[in-house]
Amino acid sequence: MNKKVKVKKKSRLRRVVRNILLSILSAFVIWIIFSNVMTTYELKKYPPIGEFVEVDGKNMHIYTKGEGDNTIVLLSGLGTTAPLLDFEPLINEMAKNHQVVVVEPFGYGWSDTTNKERTVENIVEETRAALKKSNIQGPFILMPHSISGIYSMYYANTYPEEVQAIIGIDPTLPQALEYFNESAPTIPNFLRYVAPTGIARLALYIDPESYLPITAEGTYSEENIKMTKAISAWKGYNKNVIAEANEIKNTIDKTVAMKFPSTMPVLLFTTKDDQVTEDGKNNVTFYETQLTPSTASKLVPLDGHHYLHWTRSEEMSKEVNEFTTSFATD
């Protein structure tokens, strides 16, 4: 009798566990369907702000604002899901005196994803193709943030006639890892599924602040924030971002011997870093090694986050105006 009771209890427990697992699975499937329906809805609700150009058979999103003698091309950091929206305060400031362009790479913002490898060569050529197809004439002032510093280094060395100057926003540069004795970062491949499975959207519901700029209220409009959340749900950690991150070591190996052309004016913004390594190194000392001998070259440390444009757009724009004036008459 006791054995029968035990068997019944085990059987009941298995049914309970099975029902719980089925309920969890069902909820997960329903959430995936809901998330993808929301993505379809949001894609119609939030159409691209700029224009699409065809690059390698895919749509790449490009946006232009302002007029002036200089064309400044903003290039985003790794994982900045919606570059155009992220740069908005800086675009609005700089567009008062310059033509400002944002090229959203494949896998970012409103641009498509691509099956092409995320090598430095491909990323730079895709950017060049988008600019040409939009009839935006160079030479350009490249303004890279973070990882795009390496792409700008490659661009300036490979096509120096197309690059007038460099303005870096706390840019990652090829020699940084060697300078600080660090290794290249990587991202697990399984994270590429967080957007299609709706996990990215769920994370946004749970902790939206972690996916938004850290800045004073009103810096970004409510519409901007809504679009940023939506695009983060569509594109968060997609296959192109993961591939780009895991290509960093190869990218650095290809560019580590490069320096900006000696006559090219370089303006670098960086965060004020009071932390100094045992051998006296920090961001400022590193960037000092990267400036060119041009009399216009300058290093500007600012208080703020790695995304300096979240809080320092006005100061940065003033520095950009002075910088462009200085090398125009250099």
The pTM (predicted TM-score) of the whole model is 0.91
Domain annotation for the chain: domains and CATH numbers = 51-328 (3.40.50.1820)
Query: What's the confidence (pLDDT) of residue 14?
Result: 79
Tokens for 287, please give them. 């960037």
The single-letter code of the amino acid at 22 is: L
Query: What's the confidence (pLDDT) of residue 24?
Result: 86
68 near 324, Cβ under 8 Å? no
First to last CA, the chain: 98
Bridge pairing between strands 163-169 and 58-65:
unpaired
- Runs of H (alpha helix) within 50-119: 83-86, 88-94
- Runs of H (alpha helix) within the chain: 2-45, 83-86, 88-94, 120-133, 148-158, 176-180, 199-206, 222-235, 239-246, 248-255, 283-288, 313-328
Compute the residue count for the chain: 330
321 near 267, Cβ under 8 Å? no
User: What is the spatial distance between Cα 272 and Cα 294, in angstroms, rounded to a whole number?
Assistant: 23
Query: What's the confidence (pLDDT) of residue 2?
Result: 59
227 versus 23: which is more confidently predicted?
A: 227
Q: What's the mean pLDDT when you consider all of the chain?
A: 92
81 near 229, Cβ under 8 Å? no
Query: What's the confidence (pLDDT) of residue 124?
Result: 98
DSSP code for 112: P
pLDDT at position 90 over 70 = yes
- Give the pLDDT confidence of 3-33 residue by residue, as tens digits: 665 556 667 777 878 888 888 888 888 888 9
Query: What's the confidence (pLDDT) of residue 7?
Result: 55
Query: What's the confidence (pLDDT) of residue 27?
Result: 85
- Give the pLDDT confidence of 97-120 residue by residue, as tens digits: 999 999 999 999 999 999 999 999
Q: In Å, what is the CA distance from 81 to each residue of 87, 106, 194?
A: 11, 11, 13
pLDDT at position 210 over 90 = no
User: What is the spatial distance between Cα 248 and Cα 147, in angstroms, rounded to a whole number?
Assistant: 9
Return the number of other C-beta atoms located less than 10 Å from residue 305's C-beta: 15
